[in-house]
Chain A
Amino acid sequence: MMSRSKKIFIERISSEYRRPSGPLWQPAVDIYRCPEGWKIKFDLAGVKLDDVQVLIAEDKLIVRGVRRDTVITEGWSYHQLEITYSRFERILKIPCDLARADIQLESRDGWFILHLNCG
């Protein structure tokens, strides 16, 4: 299966962080404990790796992005819609020194896996 990953650029923002807009949808998350640290699996099928952003605000890990419907084509129309598109955001608190952690994001089989090596 297709698997892409990237060493992401971590943006650090102040603790006063607030979302700039109204409530966004939250993807479901599985969190694994592993010898290296943490593996965080996001249910984000259909999201492009480039459309995801990981932010760190003090002890909070923020994953946000946007899911776009790339399937719909000119001349089609919806009969039913159940998948939520548009921007999402998930804020997690992980017991890990985020400032020094090695963070990597991988897209695999429709999952997004965040590798968090707390060192």
Chain B
Amino acid sequence: MTDNKILELPILPLRNIVIFPSGITPLTVGRTMSLAAAEAALSTEEKLLGVMAQREDGETEPTPEKLYSTGTVVVINRMMRSPGAEEVLHLIVQGQERFRIIEFTQQTPYLKARVEILPEPVREKTPEVEALQRNIQVLVQKALSLLPNVPPEIRNIIVQADDAVRLAYFLGSVLDLSVTQEQALLEANTESDLLHLMHTYLAREVEVLEIRSKIANQAQEELGKAQRDYILREQMKQIQKELGETEPEQAEAQLLRERIEKADLPDEVRAEAERELKRLERLPSAAPDYHVIRTYLEWILDLPWKVSTEESLDLNKAQEVLDEDHYDLVDIKQRILEHLAVIKLNPKTKAPILCFVGPPGVGKTSLGQSIARSMGRKFERMSLGGMRDEAELRGHRRTYIGSMPGRIIQALRRAGVNNPVMMLDEVDKLGMDFRGDPASALLEVLDPAQNFSFRDHYLDLPFDLSKVFFIATANTLSPIPPALRDRMEVIRLSGYTEEEKLHIAKRYLIPRQIREAGLNEEQLQFTDEAIQGIISRFTREAGVRQLERNIGSVARKVALKVAQGKGDVFTIKVEELEEYLGHEMFFHEMARQKLPPGVATGLAVTEMGGEVLFIEATLLPGAKGLTLTGQLGEVMQESAKAALSYLWSHSDEMGFDCARKFENSGVHVHVPAGATPKDGPSAGVAIVSALASLCSGRAVRSDTAMTGEITLSGLVLPVGGIKGKVLAARRSGMKRVILPKKNEADLKDIPEEALRDLEVILVERVEELLPHSLTPADDSGSEQPVPEAPTVTARDEVRAEGGEARA
């Protein structure tokens, strides 16, 4: 190396760049030390300058230690000063040779060093170098194919390069390499070192380029599809414009605008609709919100904000319609007529909210329809049975995908008027769980003080429900939350008597079923006895559904015969019922039985209407206390305890030997059917009769059914469901019914014909009760304290399905 040329040069430190001994590089010089170095170089004869890369960019006044030890000698080819900024020099330099620092001879005002010029990297002709050269060429070609915008000059230089070292230097200046990498290239002293480095850098560069182009391609593809759609859509618009058709979105928005202008909307609703329409007009039809807004606007336009049906206020006609559709039900008809009368006098009155409670099949739903008909209003029915989600009633907010208004608003849209009769069926069967409590949502709907501005979540606009005539129906009141129950005017439909059923059958059911079967009234007739036979022996229900099914069954069988040509005119007589309906399904069980001591007949109310039930009591010699079985509720258990205590403490006065018997034996009270839960205080008199019978040995009269609550002091208190209970007693063939005296008023509700065959005994105290309920002493059965096995009847099986019974 000693024979290499030694020079003394001003040194220009470079940031971020390494200049290779080839190529021409523009430099901007601004640092004081660099300016001084450049000026010094310019004032020499040959304009030579040493440039060296800094190890760190941040250094503004780098000392020799901060520089790499190898640099490049450059000639300054051009120099300009920036106009207006004299202290910035623009240089164009050309790299000539590499050098190595021997020593720095000066540090201020600029760096100056003695340097040794290094020879070009030694050219080698080894196979390794050859291979590297070829590989680099391949990589370079690949890189060029991946870079779309390489200027042709550069392309030419690269492709035509015949010298591997020059190509490597050139690539070093072109590729995006770090200063360290570039410096390593500069410092390579042999061709193979240089090419190795270059090969590594290039391979990596090509890899990066490949990944980049892959990403770019993907993005391009995605963009390409969206662009294509957009262009096609724009073209379609242009074509439509040419054809003189308006754009579909605009046409749609225009249509909606016209509809909003025409519609009779409340101010608040109109303002909201117009606001939404403006949003719609700004959206392209492809936007997801577009359809949401459109559907919303359509809902607003479809709702009967101010549309009402004209009410027919002809009371006579309303009465006629009600009578035509339903037999009896005087209370309800009266209530409807009253309401119509009120509307006639005060058109602004709020619609009542009625709740029909009664067993299945008594006509609650059809009554709703005929109320609507009698008032000339639209009828909308929605079943709430099993509804668990509050949102189903009140809708989902529009933020949800696929959101819809709730059932109330939907029903109003169907009705098309804001004053329909809306029937909320099965309100006692509303579900309730973590998703919400629809019953609570109903509170708002059914409160006349709130429902004039009912807000559905979807609409989020107040809708006036106060003109809607709400009718709820339920089988029992107990599952209905008290707050909801409180809002409704409860009207009980407690079931029909046999006579009523006979009328209903003749007037409604038989004609309907004959029509259904495709017959006419001459072809099929029923005798009254036959109808009564069906009612008493083939059905056991408070309503008339089973009756209608049985009539339908007979009608179909007759239709078969007519179709087979086996006859033309059929009159169904009571003897023929078995032929048509099979064996009779229910028996008059109680009347024909003689009850053993300790068994009494009570009366209960279930969802299916009134029922008779047995109270069985027996002594358990040697045992202690009172055992109660038969799924009795707490109130009923307490009632049994009270009955026992009363008899025990008053046994002397009554002349029964209850005290002694209860002292020495336990008492077991059982109420079949064991699987049906029962509760309520009204079995008190039956239990006290059964226990009295037990300790007196006198049987309870088997033709007597009884109900009433008792107190420890012996009072008989009134109970509910008298009509249903009395009808049940009559249905079961009872001849006598013992009721609390205070229930006397309820007897007015019971049709006269139902009371005709019944002896009703009203009692105020237990002492009055027992002489009526027990058989006279001489007529007593055996002293046997253990009663016969309880009678299992078809009725019990029916009741077992029917849920809870309330005694």
A residues in contact (CB < 8 Å) with B: 18, 20-25, 66-70, 72, 76-82, 84-87
B79 touches A21 (CB 8 A): no
Nearest-neighbour CB distance to chain B for A119, whole angstroms, equals 34
Complex Cα spacing A85 to B74, Å: 11
A81 touches B45 (CB 8 A): no
Residues of A with C-beta under 8 A to B79: 78, 80-81
Complex Cα spacing A18 to B81, Å: 37
Considering only CB atoms, which chain B residue lies closest to A73 in the complex?
A: B43
Given A22-B22, A23-B22, A81-B76, residue A86 in contact with residue B97 (CB < 8 A)? no
Complex Cα spacing A79 to B78, Å: 11
B78 touches A81 (CB 8 A): yes
Contact with A along B12-24 (1 / 0, CB 8 A): 0000000001100
Q: List 25 A-B contacts (CB under 8 A).
A: A20-B119, A21-B21, A22-B96, A23-B21, A23-B22, A24-B96, A25-B75, A68-B46, A69-B44, A72-B42, A72-B43, A77-B42, A78-B39, A78-B42, A78-B43, A78-B79, A80-B80, A80-B81, A81-B42, A81-B47, A81-B76, A81-B80, A86-B47, A87-B75, A87-B96
Complex Cα spacing A85 to B279, Å: 72
Complex Cα spacing A4 to B27, Å: 39
Most chain A C-beta atoms within 10 Å of own C-beta, residue among B22, B42, B117, B119? B42
Determine the main DSSP class of A at the interface with B: loop
B45 touches A21 (CB 8 A): no
- New A-B contacts (14) at CB < 8 Å, excluding given A69-B47, A72-B42: A21-B96, A21-B117, A22-B95, A68-B45, A72-B45, A76-B43, A77-B39, A77-B42, A79-B81, A80-B81, A81-B77, A85-B46, A87-B75, A87-B96
Nearest-neighbour CB distance to chain A for B649, whole angstroms, equals 131
B117 touches A85 (CB 8 A): no
Between A and B, how many residue pairs show CB distances below 8 Å?
71
Our pick among A18, A82, A84 for the contact of B75 (Cβ within 8 Å) is A84
Check: B33 CB closer than 8 A to any chain A CB.
Answer: no
Complex Cα spacing A78 to B21, Å: 25
A70 touches B78 (CB 8 A): no
Most chain A C-beta atoms within 10 Å of own C-beta, residue among B42, B44, B47, B77? B47
Residues of B with C-beta under 8 A to A85: 45-47, 75-76
B120 touches A21 (CB 8 A): yes
Nearest-neighbour CB distance to chain B for A26, whole angstroms, equals 11
Residues of B with C-beta under 8 A to A84: 75, 77
B residues in contact (CB < 8 Å) with A: 21-22, 39, 42-48, 73, 75-81, 94-97, 117, 119-120
Considering only CB atoms, which chain B residue lies closest to A88 in the complex?
A: B75
Nearest-neighbour CB distance to chain A for B575, whole angstroms, equals 132
Complex Cα spacing A57 to B73, Å: 27
Residues of A with C-beta under 8 A to B96: 21-24, 86-87
A70 touches B39 (CB 8 A): no
Complex Cα spacing A20 to B121, Å: 11
Our pick among B78, B81, B97 for the contact of A22 (Cβ within 8 Å) is B97
Considering only CB atoms, which chain A residue lies closest to B123 in the complex?
A: A18
Nearest-neighbour CB distance to chain A for B628, whole angstroms, equals 117
Considering only CB atoms, which chain A residue lies closest to B166 in the complex?
A: A23
Nearest-neighbour CB distance to chain A for B145, whole angstroms, equals 28
Given A84-B75, A86-B47, A86-B75, residue A23 in contact with residue B94 (CB < 8 A)? yes
Residues of A with C-beta under 8 A to B76: 81, 85
Our pick among A20, A25, A80 for the contact of B94 (Cβ within 8 Å) is A25
Nearest-neighbour CB distance to chain B for A81, whole angstroms, equals 4
Residues of B with C-beta under 8 A to A20: 119-120
Residues of A with C-beta under 8 A to B48: 86
Residues of A with C-beta under 8 A to B97: 21-22
Considering only CB atoms, which chain B residue lies closest to A80 in the complex?
A: B80
Complex Cα spacing A97 to B418, Å: 118
Complex Cα spacing A3 to B76, Å: 30
A77 touches B43 (CB 8 A): yes
Nearest-neighbour CB distance to chain A for B81, whole angstroms, equals 6
Residues of B with C-beta under 8 A to A69: 44-47
Residues of A with C-beta under 8 A to B119: 20
Residues of A with C-beta under 8 A to B42: 72, 77-78, 81
Nearest-neighbour CB distance to chain A for B320, whole angstroms, equals 117
Considering only CB atoms, which chain A residue lies closest to B75 in the complex?
A: A86
Complex Cα spacing A119 to B22, Å: 39
Nearest-neighbour CB distance to chain A for B7, whole angstroms, equals 12
Given A79-B81, A80-B81, A82-B78, residue A22 in contact with residue B47 (CB < 8 A)? no
B46 touches A86 (CB 8 A): yes
Complex Cα spacing A20 to B796, Å: 122
Nearest-neighbour CB distance to chain A for B636, whole angstroms, equals 115
Complex Cα spacing A81 to B93, Å: 11
Nearest-neighbour CB distance to chain A for B267, whole angstroms, equals 80
Residues of A with C-beta under 8 A to B46: 66-69, 85-87
Complex Cα spacing A89 to B290, Å: 75
Residues of A with C-beta under 8 A to B44: 69
Complex Cα spacing A82 to B75, Å: 12
Counting from the closest, the 6 A-B pairs by CB-CB distance are A68-B45, A22-B21, A81-B79, A21-B97, A22-B96, A86-B46
Complex Cα spacing A23 to B42, Å: 20
Complex Cα spacing A18 to B191, Å: 15
A70 touches B45 (CB 8 A): yes
Residues of B with C-beta under 8 A to A24: 96
Complex Cα spacing A82 to B92, Å: 10
Residues of B with C-beta under 8 A to A86: 46-48, 75, 96
Considering only CB atoms, which chain A residue lies closest to B81 in the complex?
A: A79
Considering only CB atoms, which chain A residue lies closest to B41 in the complex?
A: A78
Complex Cα spacing A85 to B75, Å: 7
Nearest-neighbour CB distance to chain B for A14, whole angstroms, equals 15
Considering only CB atoms, which chain A residue lies closest to B97 in the complex?
A: A21
Nearest-neighbour CB distance to chain B for A4, whole angstroms, equals 20
Considering only CB atoms, which chain B residue lies closest to A67 in the complex?
A: B46
Nearest-neighbour CB distance to chain A for B260, whole angstroms, equals 76
Complex Cα spacing A76 to B39, Å: 10
Nearest-neighbour CB distance to chain B for A85, whole angstroms, equals 5
Residues of B with C-beta under 8 A to A68: 45-46
Considering only CB atoms, which chain B residue lies closest to A66 in the complex?
A: B46
Considering only CB atoms, which chain B residue lies closest to A75 in the complex?
A: B43
Nearest-neighbour CB distance to chain B for A10, whole angstroms, equals 24
Residues of B with C-beta under 8 A to A67: 46
Complex Cα spacing A68 to B96, Å: 16
Complex Cα spacing A1 to B78, Å: 29
Complex Cα spacing A87 to B48, Å: 10
Complex Cα spacing A4 to B39, Å: 33
Residues of A with C-beta under 8 A to B39: 77-78
Complex Cα spacing A25 to B42, Å: 17
Considering only CB atoms, which chain A residue lies closest to B23 in the complex?
A: A23
Nearest-neighbour CB distance to chain A for B526, whole angstroms, equals 125
Residues of B with C-beta under 8 A to A77: 39, 42-43
Nearest-neighbour CB distance to chain A for B249, whole angstroms, equals 65
Complex Cα spacing A22 to B80, Å: 24
Complex Cα spacing A80 to B78, Å: 8
Complex Cα spacing A66 to B42, Å: 15
Considering only CB atoms, which chain A residue lies closest to B48 in the complex?
A: A86
Residues of B with C-beta under 8 A to A87: 46, 75, 96
Nearest-neighbour CB distance to chain B for A44, whole angstroms, equals 15
Nearest-neighbour CB distance to chain B for A28, whole angstroms, equals 15
Complex Cα spacing A44 to B73, Å: 22
Residues of B with C-beta under 8 A to A66: 46
Residues of B with C-beta under 8 A to A21: 21, 96-97, 117, 120
Complex Cα spacing A80 to B117, Å: 28
Residues of B with C-beta under 8 A to A81: 42, 47, 76-80
Residues of B with C-beta under 8 A to A70: 45
Complex Cα spacing A23 to B48, Å: 14
Complex Cα spacing A67 to B48, Å: 12
Complex Cα spacing A24 to B75, Å: 9
Considering only CB atoms, which chain A residue lies closest to B79 in the complex?
A: A81
Residues of B with C-beta under 8 A to A22: 21-22, 73, 95-97, 120
